[in-house]
Amino acid sequence: MPAERAFGYIIGRGIVGQPRRKRRSFTLRGEVIGDLRNAVNFTLAAGLFVLAVVALGIAIEIYRLRSSKRRKHRASQAPPRRLPQLERRMTDAFSGPRAIYGDCFAEFSIWRQSETTRMDVSTKSAWTALNVFTRSLIVRHLWRQLAAFAKNTVLVHVDPGTPHAIVWTALSTQQFDDKGVLEPWAPAKGRVGTLLSGP
């Protein structure tokens, strides 16, 4: 083989061999870069998925809160609804005070509006013969009985719109000092005293 051809052959082999090594190196580098790119894409997709789930949860919670506010607003705007079934259950609550103080109640009605249950009580002249403490004792008793049935905000209005009207709430029950006096219509066992009526 002539020297020129041999030299060209060697040079040719060297020239041909080098790109092959470069291709192998480029191929391996490409695989590594591709794997990294796939890992990054997967992490990015997972992050976007988690973000979408969180955003959906927030949107659902906001919708639920707004719906709850709208329902409460509509309920507060709705007219009071009378509760005859609760009135029947409350009838016995008047029997104890009536047995002790006489027929001092004219009528009563129970109404529900939004989250509040209200009982309106009308009295007779015998009611005015009782002192303030005894009236409070009776109204607290009625409030407790109604609260046991209603399980929400309870109000008791006695003779609303009159000079001797009473509005009894949970706060009234907390602040009322009964001086350790039990209700006269309560069982006699353990009674420390009663205050029936007065000027």
Domain edge (last residue) among 49, 77, 105: 77
Q: Are residues 52 and 100 in the same domain?
A: no
Same domain, residue pair 86 and 73: no
Residue 115: CATH number of its domain:
3.30.70
Condensed to tens digits (0 to 9), the pLDDT of residues 25-79 reads: 445 555 666 666 777 777 878 888 888 888 888 888 887 777 766 665 565 567 8
**Whether residues 69 and 126 fall in one domain:** no
Is 194 contained in some domain?
no
CA 94 to chain centre: 33
Q: Is residue 180 part of a domain?
A: no
Co-location of 39 and 8 in the same domain: yes
> Are 90 and 119 in the same domain?
yes
Tell me how far apart the alpha carbons of residues 117 and 98 are, in angstroms, rounded to a whole number: 23
Q: Is the same domain home to 96 and 169? A: yes
For residues 77 and 153, give the distance between their C-alpha atoms in angstroms, rounded to a whole number: 17
| Domain-located, residue 54 | yes
For 157, list phi and psi in degrees, rounded to 5: -105, 120
pLDDT digits (tens, 9 = 90+) for 112-155: 998 899 999 999 999 999 999 999 999 999 999 999 999 899 99
Work out how many domains the chain is built from and give that number.
Answer: 2
Q: Are residues 110 and 49 in the same domain?
A: no
Question: How far, in Å, CA of 6 to CA of 4, rounded?
Answer: 5
Tell me, yes or no, whether 73 and 135 share the same domain: no
86 and 72 in a single domain? The answer is no
**What is the strand order of the sheet 166-168 is part of?**
81-82, 105-113, 116-123, 153-158, 166-168
Asked if the model's pLDDT at residue 12 lies above 90, the reply is no
pLDDT of residue 188: 58
Share of the chain above pLDDT 90, in %: 45
Report which of 144, 127, 128 is spatially closest to residue 178, judged by C-alpha positions. Answer: 144
- Rounded to 5 degrees, φ, ψ at 152 are -150, -160
Angle at alpha carbon of residue 92, lines to 91 and 94, rounded to 5° = 80
- Residue 187 resides in a domain: no
Domain boundary among 35, 60, 77: 77
Question: Domain check: are 16 and 67 in the same one?
Answer: yes
Q: For residue 158, what pLDDT is reported? A: 97
- Looking at the structure, tell me whether residues 17 and 98 fall in a common domain: no
What domain range is 140 assigned to? Answer: 81-175
Question: Of 77, 107, 133, which residue constitutes the final position of a domain?
Answer: 77
Claim: this prediction has a pTM higher than 0.85: no
Q: Which residues pair with 155 in a beta bridge?
A: 118
Are 88 and 120 contained in the same domain?
Answer: yes
* Three-class secondary structure of residue 94 per DSSP: helix
